[in-house]
Structure 1
Amino acid sequence: MADEMVLRAQRFINLTYNNGAALGISKLAEDGRTGWPVMYALTRALQYEMGITSLSDSFGPTTLSTLQSKYPKLNDSTVPSANFCRVLQSALYCKGYDGGEIDGVYNGRVKDAVAKLKANMGVDTVYAGSSLEPKVVKGLLNMDAYVTVSNGSEEIRSIQQWLNRRYVGRRDFYLIPCDGHHSRDVAKSMLFAIQYELGMADGTANGVFGPGTQSGLKNHTVAVGTTGTWASLFTAAMILNKRNVPFGNFTGDVKAGVESFQAFAKLPVTGVGDFQTWASLLVSYGDQTRKGTACDGVTRITPARAQALKDAGYKYIGRYLSNPSSTSLPEKQIQPGELATIKQYGLRCFPIYQTWSRSADYFSYPQGCIDATNAIEWAQIHGFKPGTIIYFAVDYDAQDGEITEYVLKHFRGIYRTVGENSAYGVGVYGPRNVCQRVSDAGYASAGFVSDMSSGFSGNLGYPLPTNWAFDQIATIKVGSGDGAIEIDNNIASGRDTGQGDFDPGVPVNSDLDVDFDKATYRAAALKDVQAYLTSIGVPETGGEGWTVDDDWVTYDVISTTEAFNKIMDADWLFTNLARALKLRKALIQAPVLWELRKLNPLDALADEAVKAGLKDDCSTGWGQIFAWVTIAARNYCMDQGIIHGTPLTGSDTRAVWDNLQEPEYNIPSVAYLTIYNAHQLGIARPSLTTGQADTQKLLARYNGTGDKAEKYGRELIGLYNVLENYNKLSRAQ
């Protein structure tokens, strides 16, 4: 929402500093909205007014030290110029406080706003009065909030204010937000606070959980009866980890909360704040010397290594289903005979699926479907039994916005594909925030937490996920000689115990369809599709014919090229279905391409009638399928164990019709209908070797029965053959 005074602040910057040129930035958008561009501009303006020649977006050491030396207190008698004051007034407005009229006067309104700001920061007793101290100015020129936002916790806000008040006088402690939310900055401030209480000097205290901090904490166990600063720090750490205890002294209620946390984190349940508990509260990996019972690695488990792991107390081993590289980490993928070795030594295995997954642009709904299909295939090849949880990796520091925009969509594809096409479960590997958000969305039943990466923003400031199964805390070496192996040491919660027995596995099938080789064959395939359709009276655009309802219409909605391009864009989905169902991709592509090309104005009118409640059902979506047919087809495939899900009834008709608007639901329904049609025709289920005669029957049945359906089959078998020709060429690559 635009704010008039923020707009005036933006105009002040533009007018005063030559549309940003004097500050080394572009002209600010005059939209009345606070954001980092405005704060960066105000930071540069402050530097400019202080005579700093090298301007920066960052309010760094030079800006702070210059302000401390020149203006240790900014007020009505020390502000050096009107524009300097206008910068401060503008910043107050951008922060939500009354900055006066942005007139260069440090008046009563400004003083009241500054006093309120410092009270909200929690430093009004340290920095009494209405002056602006350098660290307060630094806190003013960022996007931190000092009031609760987005349902922030008042208890967490009181902890943030307490930390600010107690430690703002230390050289390297800067004001943290008081917004009621745990965060990276708050987590680091807690480490600074502990280091200060341990007696570390400025310059030594660094906010890092290093050997000195760990050694000091081992001498500061807190328990019932502990009062004062150490009790406050411990209870603060508990509250920041979402444990419901009172802030302050270590009481009986705190002890109960500690016992609950220790049991949850699989720590010794002592009810006291010992070192391991401190460590688990302060950093994601906790005490890295803890002995885990689970591990994961990229090295083959040989008999000697299995014995070494067993002797070291390990029970569960995470291994990778596949390896996208043929040269890097040659033993990353589960090797032939390896699972038999794991079983022989009484160990259990939990599978991990990862290809790249190290940047946001990898993740998408289609890629999630592709990953899920590949993971299912490999899990079946290795012999993992139904019920196995497969952990899909997010192996980078995904920001919260990236989780929303990319990762959740990716896991929606995984969840749908795994749930519909297998009896496996979905797990998520990644930072704490990733694991929790994917699980909260309902897309994963268990989390494998990459807690070794303690600096990840998705770990700092986030508690251990509620459904964690494995907690990865350190890379270590186990065994010696032939049994020597490097592993990631994991704590196991018991939510997933992996698999200790395995099916024989299915052989790798090299005849399955693959992604269409678009670079080589796309242009030629389109040309042949156009030529074939033209030969049977379907030109590039337009064309006439009868609908199923015997209406004579013109087909002029989508051209052949447009229909073909849609098929190519969804190639990942056709490929996934063909591989999962072990049938030819062209058998799904041909009717979908045909129905897209044959869309006509009556189809759109029928859709509108259903949306308006005038009709219960109509053929719809890419494959022009009725909801009632979809229900019958999906239920049949569920009955046969081909797909998984909850049986549908007539009451689901509208919901199914709505789902059919999505290609991701419509195209699989085409495939399931084709399988159902084989049952109705009394012929074999379509496979990789289905012959021309049965293929034509299946294509004809897609359009019903009778003469028109027979004609439909004769027309589509030619289209099928064109598409299958290029799919076959792609398989041969």
Structure 2
Amino acid sequence: MADELVLRAQRFFNTTYSGYAGMPKLEENGRTSWAVMYALTRALQLEIGVSPQSNAFGPGTLSALKSKVPSINENTSPSANFTRIIQAALYCKGYDGGEIDGIYNGRVKDGVSKLKANMGVDSIYPGSSLEPKVVKALLTMDAYTTISGGSDSVRSIQQWMNSRYIGRADYFIIPCDGFYSRDVQKAQMLAIQYELGMADGTANGVFGPGTKAGIKSHPLSVGSSGTWVQLFSAAMIFNRRSGVSFTSSYTSGLASAVSSFQSFLKLDVNGTADFPTWASLLVSYGDDTRKGTAFDCADEVTADRAKALYAAGYRLGGRYLTNVPGTTLDKKIKPGELATMASAGIACFPIYQTFGDYKDYFSRPQGTSDAIAATDAALAHGFKKGTRIYFAIDYDNTDEEITANLIPHFKGINEGMAQAGGYFQVGIYATRNACSRVSEAGLSTASFVSNMSMGYSGNLGFPMPSDWAIDQIKTINVGSGSGLIEIDNDISSGRESGQKSYNPAPAKEDLDVAFDPIFDAELTKDIQTYFQSIGIPEEGPPDSWLPTGKTKHTTSYCVQFMLSWDSLFTSLARMLKMRKALIQTSAIWELRHFNITSIEDLSVPKVNDNFSDACVYDYHNDGVLPDWVTDWGNKLQSLDDCSTGIGQIFGRRAIKARNHAIDLGLLDEAKRDATKDSDVWAVWEKLHFNQSYNISTVPFMHILHAMEKGMARPGLTTSEANTEKLLQYYQGDTANAAEQAKLRMGMYRIIEDKYQSVFRKYL
């Protein structure tokens, strides 16, 4: 919502500074933002002679301000525009700034006094003047009142820290918003360093050797009192330990809370503020000299390495199920490695990670695909049913990204696990915040916490997840010579036991493998050429079908789409022991023929696939329509089901196919009732919006068709004649479908005979 006062501030800046180099033009929208604060910072720099101007209110700006006006008031303000900058900034902070008239009047004074009181610095900086450090804080987006979700207790500590340490050279006013953030964490560390007696310039906010040594010399126990107890109780509150108040007295109640914290983190339980406890409160990895009994690593655990690891006390190790496609890093479990670890007395827990280091990778469809690929890999390595696979999120995610990307991704993982037969449990590797939120959503059963990344915002101020199993704290080397290996030293809570025995290696079968990306362009060209030979151009419909209309996707797009989901197609084919080309042909043929023809008569929904989808959406949502159907709002027909998504599958047929797969033990999910609208919609919606769910349903459709027609289930040795029948029945049992199946067989033969059969032999 626009704020008229903020709008005034934006207009003032644009009007006053539009002719100056380096000054941006602000959007006049009445909303406070960093863009506004940066602009006001530049304007202030211009007014006090700092050049060149920049967004940063750094040491140079602070020094210039201290030199020019160490105390700003109605008598000392350098210029009317300088005062207007202050007034505009007060508006943006939610304080009264007068009329942006350049007069440091009573309203400005009242606003400044209220601001300093909220910061907690009014006893150090009394009165209504503005000190340089207050100006620096004013030109940020920091809040100085408790904001939604914040803690009043945390805010009182923030105010206390500001009042106690603002006189130190490198301490700047921190937010008083009730949240523990990166700036608050650094200020907390500076406060400890100041209490240790470190001079300005030496204290740096880093948890280094001097700070560690100092904390070790300040243990606390029942009866202790003073500033150190305040700092320690503050750290407990920052870590969201219940039943703790900000205090200067180390009471038995505080000792009890400390004992609970120590027990939870597998520290020595003594109720005292010893170094390991301090460290676990101050940085996510805690005391990184702790000896763990668990580890994870990217390198093969050979016999010599396993011996060295066991001798060093390690009994549980994490290893990767797969490599990341297209990279040279070889980190996946090697043949015989699990047996080697088991023989040495080391259990293993599996980790699945592909491109897990940026937010856009994570989505519900990708989660479904990852779960199926992880299941395929885990079964191939011999992991037993019930093993927990840890799916990795290896970047510093924001809370908003957890909501928008990660939780949907783990919903997809759980769906994918069910679609792959429900063999394995879901674990998560991520920051504290991501682990906790995914767990609280019921989407994981244990957390492997990336505490080694102490600077991640997802670890700062967030408590350890209640279901933590593995705590990753430091990369170290273990062993020597042929036994030398680099590992991440991990603490085990006991929740994860891993495996020490494994199923026998699957019998050698002629299973499909991943498509070699070297041949991407060649495959695309082959399918384009074939399609053109049967009257299907690169774009648009076949020559013999709706020549005045159009299809949604080009041939090359469809082939590239197929290749982008190759890991899913491969995993489905391997787990279900059928030919990948069969699944790909049915899915991609339908995708290429998706029709968005514009027609005058919309009374026949099947003529237009988009229109059919819109009719179904309308039927099940009482006329609440998404953007893509707005043009047809008054022309939609009553339609409770239609073919939809990549593989163009009906909701009811998908229910029947998936129920049949459940009966065969291929799926682990609750059966649906095809006579219930709610079940039809639940499945149709997934078919329409979740690409991997739709792709994963295609092979179950083939299995259903085989059963209905009295054919053997499609497998690795299905004849070409029966493959053609399966392709026909996917479209229907009609003469036209039979003719279309002959055409589809051409695409099948390209994928199978020229590529996949060769890959199976040599890759």
So what's the TM-score if we normalise by structure 1? 0.90
Q: Which whole-Å CA distance do the structure 1 matches of 2:254 and 2:317 have between them? A: 36
Residue 15 and residue 632 in structure 1: after superposition, are their counterparts in 2 closer, same or farther (change >3 A)? Answer: same
So what's the TM-score if we normalise by structure 2? 0.87
Contact preservation (8 Å) 2:368, 2:693 = no
Offset of residue 110 of structure 1 = 0.8
Query: In structure 2, which of residues 517, 525, 528 is the aligned counterpart of residue 526 of structure 1?
Result: 528
Q: Which whole-Å CA distance do the structure 1 matches of 2:38 and 2:171 have between them? A: 21
Residue 373 and residue 6 in structure 1: after superposition, are their counterparts in 2 closer, same or farther (change >3 A)? Answer: same
Other-structure match for 2:197: 199
Contact preservation (8 Å) 2:512, 2:570 = no
String of CA shifts for 1:455-499, please: whole Å, max 9, x gaps.
233323332223221111122333345444332210011221111
Q: Which whole-Å CA distance do the structure 2 matches of 1:259 and 1:400 have between them? A: 30
Offset of residue 543 of structure 1 = 5.5
Other-structure match for 1:511: 512
Q: Which whole-Å CA distance do the structure 1 matches of 2:524 and 2:566 have between them? A: 15
Offset of residue 699 of structure 1 = 2.6
Q: Which whole-Å CA distance do the structure 2 matches of 1:664 and 1:414 have between them? A: 11
Q: Which whole-Å CA distance do the structure 2 matches of 1:509 and 1:113 have between them? A: 77
Offset of residue 41 of structure 1 = 0.9
Other-structure match for 2:334: 335
Q: Which whole-Å CA distance do the structure 2 matches of 1:617 and 1:477 have between them? A: 59
Query: In structure 2, which of residues 612, 619, 642 is the aligned counterpart of residue 612 of structure 1?
Result: 619
Q: Out of 55-64 and 653-662, give the one that drifted further.
A: 653-662
String of CA shifts for 1:650-684, please: whole Å, max 9, x gaps.
44223223323224333322321111221222222
Other-structure match for 1:547: none
Other-structure match for 1:395: 394
Query: In structure 2, which of residues 668, 671, 688 is the aligned counterpart of residue 661 of structure 1?
Result: 688
Query: Matched residue of 1:86: which SS?
Result: helix
Which residue identity is paired with 2:344? Answer: Y
Other-structure match for 2:347: 348
Contact preservation (8 Å) 1:363, 1:406 = yes
Query: Matched residue of 2:170: which SS?
Result: coil
Which residue identity is paired with 1:577? Answer: F
2:169 is the alignment partner of 1:171: yes
Counterparts of residues 453-464 of structure 1 (less than 5 Å): 453-464=453-464
Other-structure match for 1:298: 298
Other-structure match for 2:381: 382
String of CA shifts for 1:209-243, please: whole Å, max 9, x gaps.
11111111112222233332222211111111111
Query: In structure 1, which of residues 85, 88, 98 is the aligned counterpart of residue 96 of structure 2?
Result: 98
Gaps of 5+ in 2: 598-603, 621-637
Residue 703 and residue 408 in structure 1: after superposition, are their counterparts in 2 closer, same or farther (change >3 A)? Answer: same
2:436 is the alignment partner of 1:439: no
String of CA shifts for 1:65-101, please: whole Å, max 9, x gaps.
1112221211111111100001111111111111111
Which residue identity is paired with 2:707? Answer: H
Residue 572 and residue 416 in structure 1: after superposition, are their counterparts in 2 closer, same or farther (change >3 A)? Answer: farther
Q: Which whole-Å CA distance do the structure 1 matches of 2:265 and 2:471 have between them? A: 9
Offset of residue 294 of structure 1 = 0.4
Offset of residue 411 of structure 1 = 4.2
Other-structure match for 1:713: 738
Q: Which whole-Å CA distance do the structure 1 matches of 2:255 and 2:548 have between them? A: 74
Q: Out of 98-107 and 292-301, give the one that drifted further.
A: 292-301
Q: Which whole-Å CA distance do the structure 2 matches of 1:247 and 1:668 have between them? A: 54
Number of aligned residue pairs: 716
Q: Which whole-Å CA distance do the structure 2 matches of 1:326 and 1:623 have between them? A: 27
Contact preservation (8 Å) 2:428, 2:448 = yes
Other-structure match for 1:548: none
Contact preservation (8 Å) 1:428, 1:444 = yes
Offset of residue 437 of structure 1 = 3.8
String of CA shifts for 1:183-216, please: whole Å, max 9, x gaps.
1111111111111112212111111111111111
Which residue identity is paired with 1:657? Answer: W
Q: Which whole-Å CA distance do the structure 2 matches of 1:294 and 1:539 have between them? A: 57
Residue 126 and residue 69 in structure 1: after superposition, are their counterparts in 2 closer, same or farther (change >3 A)? Answer: same
Query: In structure 1, which of residues 696, 699, 704 is the aligned counterpart of residue 724 of structure 2?
Result: 696
Contact preservation (8 Å) 2:419, 2:696 = no
Other-structure match for 2:583: 588
Other-structure match for 1:35: 33
Other-structure match for 1:579: 571
Other-structure match for 2:136: 138
Other-structure match for 2:625: none
Contact preservation (8 Å) 1:10, 1:28 = yes
Gaps of 5+ in 1: 545-553
Query: Matched residue of 1:173: which SS?
Result: coil
Which residue identity is paired with 2:340? Answer: T
Other-structure match for 2:238: 240
Query: Matched residue of 1:702: which SS?
Result: helix
Query: In structure 2, which of residues 651, 655, 659 is the aligned counterpart of residue 635 of structure 1?
Result: 659
Which residue identity is paired with 1:602? Answer: P
Offset of residue 560 of structure 1 = 7.8
Q: Which whole-Å CA distance do the structure 2 matches of 1:668 and 1:130 have between them? A: 67
Residue 513 and residue 184 in structure 1: after superposition, are their counterparts in 2 closer, same or farther (change >3 A)? Answer: closer
Offset of residue 519 of structure 1 = 2.3
Query: Matched residue of 2:240: which SS?
Result: coil
Which residue identity is paired with 1:725? Answer: I
Offset of residue 634 of structure 1 = 0.7
Query: Matched residue of 2:447: which SS?
Result: strand
Other-structure match for 2:632: none
Residue 130 and residue 306 in structure 1: after superposition, are their counterparts in 2 closer, same or farther (change >3 A)? Answer: same
Contact preservation (8 Å) 1:638, 1:645 = yes
Residue 486 and residue 664 in structure 1: after superposition, are their counterparts in 2 closer, same or farther (change >3 A)? Answer: closer
Residue 573 and residue 643 in structure 1: after superposition, are their counterparts in 2 closer, same or farther (change >3 A)? Answer: farther
Q: Out of 345-354 and 189-198, give the one that drifted further.
A: 345-354
2:289 is the alignment partner of 1:264: no
Residue 625 and residue 98 in structure 1: after superposition, are their counterparts in 2 closer, same or farther (change >3 A)? Answer: same
Query: Matched residue of 1:300: which SS?
Result: coil
Q: Which whole-Å CA distance do the structure 2 matches of 1:510 and 1:668 have between them? A: 17
Q: Which whole-Å CA distance do the structure 2 matches of 1:635 and 1:719 have between them? A: 27
Residue 522 and residue 483 in structure 1: after superposition, are their counterparts in 2 closer, same or farther (change >3 A)? Answer: closer
Other-structure match for 2:623: none
Q: Which whole-Å CA distance do the structure 1 matches of 2:359 and 2:667 have between them? A: 30
Offset of residue 334 of structure 1 = 2.0
Contact preservation (8 Å) 1:299, 1:485 = yes
Offset of residue 356 of structure 1 = 4.6
Residue 227 and residue 508 in structure 1: after superposition, are their counterparts in 2 closer, same or farther (change >3 A)? Answer: farther
Q: Which whole-Å CA distance do the structure 1 matches of 2:206 and 2:509 have between them? A: 49
Other-structure match for 1:72: 70
Residue 606 and residue 703 in structure 1: after superposition, are their counterparts in 2 closer, same or farther (change >3 A)? Answer: same
Residue 78 and residue 607 in structure 1: after superposition, are their counterparts in 2 closer, same or farther (change >3 A)? Answer: closer
Q: Which whole-Å CA distance do the structure 2 matches of 1:512 and 1:141 have between them? A: 57
Q: Which whole-Å CA distance do the structure 2 matches of 1:612 and 1:396 have between them? A: 41
Contact preservation (8 Å) 2:84, 2:101 = yes
Contact preservation (8 Å) 1:267, 1:276 = yes
Contact preservation (8 Å) 2:541, 2:550 = no
Q: Which whole-Å CA distance do the structure 2 matches of 1:430 and 1:206 have between them? A: 28
Offset of residue 696 of structure 1 = 2.5
Offset of residue 405 of structure 1 = 5.1
Q: Which whole-Å CA distance do the structure 1 matches of 2:695 and 2:541 have between them? A: 23
Residue 667 and residue 308 in structure 1: after superposition, are their counterparts in 2 closer, same or farther (change >3 A)? Answer: closer
Other-structure match for 2:210: 212
Which residue identity is paired with 2:36? Answer: V
Q: Which whole-Å CA distance do the structure 2 matches of 1:50 and 1:440 have between them? A: 51
Q: Which whole-Å CA distance do the structure 2 matches of 1:508 and 1:300 have between them? A: 25
Q: Which whole-Å CA distance do the structure 2 matches of 1:524 and 1:277 have between them? A: 64
